[in-house]
Amino acid sequence: MFDIRSIFSALRRVKVSIYQGLRELEHYPKSMNDHHKIEEKEIDPCPAGDDNCTNLEEVQRLREEVKQLAAMVRTDELTGLFNYRYFAQALSLEMERTRRSGQPTCLIMCDLDHFKSINDVHGHEVGNVVLSHIASLIRKTIRRLDIPCRYGGEEFALILPDTTLRQGVRFANRLRLIVENSPVKASDLVLGIEASFGVDIYSRGNQLTEKEFVDKVDGFLYEAKQGGRNKVCHADYDKEEGVSSDEKEALTSAFDSQSD
């Protein structure tokens, strides 16, 4: 039987265990799958170190609650994708990874076309069904290492590590076609959905801040909206290849003159 000192010691260790778990909510995991599970620490089942601890069930329940809190902190409740708070953290870390490794980070911003009219005509419940449907399509399309987030409202942000601009644009167009050809069924309704996309990459040597990078990609998204919607707008491929249009023309002219 515990004396009062050992009971207080056990309670302190439970509090420390919970605090450590909550601190791990700030830990950056890598994908939506098993890589996002909080790492288990090798700790005694009983905070007091007693194999016959009568509080063992309660301790295990508290640890399970910590895991659930971890998922809630970084996940959007409606769509199951990562939330904006997590997006900001992940983008910053991926940009830092690019600065160290030299591998580009691709950012895709996606906005559903005419979504406001869906809410206005059919109601927000149908709008929520549409958002959940799009989130499901995104999860089925991305790779394990990609980071899908709900940016806000009907806008989504996808972080694609180690992805070139051409690869990112190809992926965005693929997702655009999947969305276009996957109507949403809600009650007796069948709704066709379209989306617009903006795409760019962050490369080593780039001086943009996280906000400037997001604003730039959002600018391409705006361009897609203004250009008729249901399309992908992106940065110039010359940026990725490291050769400007003028340099390409000069090289072509030089090659042609040598051929003559």
Spell out the residues 6+ positions from residue 202 whose beta carbon is closer than 8 angstroms to its own: 94, 95, 98, 104, 105, 106, 107, 208, 213
Whether 154 sits among the annotated catalytic residues: the reply is yes
- Of 107, 89, 245, the residue nearest 167 (C-alpha): 107
CA-CA distance, 32 to 137, in Å (whole number)?
14
CA angle 219–225–226, rounded 5-degree value = 90
Tokens encoding 175: 């997702």
CA-CA distance, 158 to 195, in Å (whole number)?
14
C-alpha distance from residue 98 to each of 48, 103, 158 (Å): 45, 5, 16
> Out of 154, 212, 223, 249, which one is annotated catalytic?
154
Q: Which residues are catalytic?
A: 154
